[in-house]
Structure 1
Amino acid sequence: MRLYNVLMATTVALLAACTSGLEAAGTTKNGFCAKPRIQITDVDVGAAVEANEDEAALKLVAIAAIPGGGSRVAFQSGDSIIVRQLDANDKLVASSPAVKVPLHDFADIYADKNGFVILGTRDAEGGGTLNCGNPSNLCGGGPSPAVPCYDMYMVRYDGTKESWSTKLTSSSKSLPPYSSGKTGPDVYMIWWYAH
C-alpha cells in the first residue's frame, strides 16, 4: 500500500508539474512532458497470481530491474512463489522458464542477468505446535487459534536452480520460536508480519 501511495503521489506531482509547465509554455510538444513517463503493461505470466493488501497475510507482486535490461517479476501462486523474466518491453521471455521457489511467502526480490535473490519465509525449525515449539512458553499462553512460525531466508537462484540460502532468523530445534521457557533466551522468528 505504501508503494502504491508513493507512486500515486509521484504521479500526481509529475502531472501537476507537467500541467503547470504546459500552461506556461503553451505547448505539449516540448520538454519533460512531451513523452509519457509511466507505462502500464498487462502480462500473462502463465499462472494464477495471488495478491492482496492484508497486513498480516500480505501476498504481493514484486518486480526488480535487471541491470542490462528487462526485469524479473515474483508473485505468489498456490504453494509456491513464481519468478518470471520480462524483456525491456515488459513482454514475457518465452525462452526463460518459470522458476518455482518453495517459500511460504516473500517480501522482495533482487535481479541480475544470471538470476535473482529473493527474501522469503520457510517453516521454522522449532517443531512442536505449527513449528513454534511449546505455546505454554509464552506469557499468557499461545495465540488462539494457533498460528504457524517461520524463519526468514535470503535465497539465491542462478537460472532455475537454488545456489544458496542464508537464514536470517535464529530459531532452531534446541531454541524454538517460543523459546525454551517463559524466561528462556530471546529468539528471532517470523510470526504474522505485523508482530
Structure 2
Amino acid sequence: MRLYNVLMATTVALLAACTSGLEAAGTTKNGFCAKPRIQITDVDVGAAVEANEDEAALKLVAIAAIPGGGSRVAFQSGDSIIVRELDANDKLVASSPAVKVPLHDFADIYADKDGFVILGTRDAEGGGTLNCGNPSNLCGGGPSPAVPCYDMYMVRYDGTKESWSTKLTSSSKSLPPYSSGKTGPDVYMIWWYAHHGRIAFDGKNWAAYFGAAVSTSEGGCINIHQGDRMKVVDPT
C-alpha cells in the first residue's frame, strides 16, 4: 500500500530557495525565505498502513532522521509496528529489511545509523480482566464493556533484532493496573486513552515523556486519573 497523504504529511521537507538580496542571506524583512519549496515523496512501503487522527486511539506515521543521512519511518500494520529505512532522497532502501516490532501501538521513534529506539505499548501483565486485574477494585465496579490495560515500553533495536526493552509504567503481575485491592498502592499504567509520548536523547541517556493513567485509592476504592510521566533510561 502506498503512503499517499498519510506519509506525505510527515515526510514533507521544507527547502529554502532564497536567491537574491536579503533572500540570498536566507531571510526577508519578515524573517522568512521568500520562495519556500515543498518536496513531497510517495513511498511504497510494501505493507498495509493503518493511520488515523483519533485523539484517544491515535495510530500515527512517524519519521526520524538518521544523523548521517536518510531516515526511518514507522507505522502501524496489523498486530505489529513496521519500521523501514529511507535514503537521503526519501527512497526505500531495498537492502534494509522491514523490521516488525511487537507493540500494540506506538508513540514516537528515534533513529541512528545502527537502528532505532521506539516508544509504545504492550499488554499489561496483571492478569484478570483484559490484563487489568480485578475490576471490582474500582469505584463503580469498572467500565462496561471492559477495556484492556497496557504498559508503556521503550524498546531498542540494532538492525532487525531487539537489543533491550524497558518498561516505563509500574503495573506488574503482583501489582495489576487496577491495583492489588481497593486500598492498594498507586499504579501507573496505560488505559484506553493517552497512548501518546515523545522520546528525547542527550547522546547518552534516553528519556520518554508520555501520557499515563494513575490508579489510586480514594474513599475505599480505586479511582483512575489521567496524567503524564517522564522516565529516563540510562545506557545500562
C-alpha contact 1:99 1:160 (8 A) present in aligned 2: yes
Mind listing any 5+ residue stretches in structure 1 that lack a counterpart?
Answer: none
C-alpha contact 1:18 1:32 (8 A) present in aligned 2: no
For the structure 1 residues 80 and 91, does the alpha-carbon distance in structure 2 shift closer, same or farther, using more than 3 Å as the test?
same
Q: What's the CA shift string for 1:132-191, capped at 9, x where partnerless?
A: 000011111111111100010000000000000010001111100000112210001000
For the structure 1 residues 35 and 132, does the alpha-carbon distance in structure 2 shift closer, same or farther, using more than 3 Å as the test?
same
Task: Kindly indicate which of the two structures has a greater share of residues assigned to helix.
Answer: 1
Helix, strand or coil: the match of 1:22? helix
Q: What's the CA shift string for 1:5-57, capped at 9, x where partnerless?
A: 99999999999999999999999999974764431111000000000011111
Distance in 2 (CA, whole Å) between partners of 1:85 and 1:12 is 16
Q: TM-score normalised to the size of structure 1? A: 0.82
2:31: which partner in 1?
31
Figure out how many residues of one structure are paired with residues of the other and give that number.
192
For the structure 1 residues 14 and 39, does the alpha-carbon distance in structure 2 shift closer, same or farther, using more than 3 Å as the test?
closer
Identity of aligned residues (%): 99
Distance in 1 (CA, whole Å) between partners of 2:142 and 2:125 is 18
- RMSD of the TM alignment (CA)? 5.6
Structure 1 window deviating more from structure 2 (88-97 vs 10-19): it is 10-19
Q: TM-score normalised to the size of structure 2? A: 0.68
C-alpha contact 1:45 1:84 (8 A) present in aligned 2: yes
Structure 1 window deviating more from structure 2 (86-95 vs 23-32): it is 23-32
Q: CA deviation at 1:64?
A: 0.3
1:98: which partner in 2?
98
Task: Kindly indicate which of the two structures has a greater share of residues assigned to strand.
Answer: 2
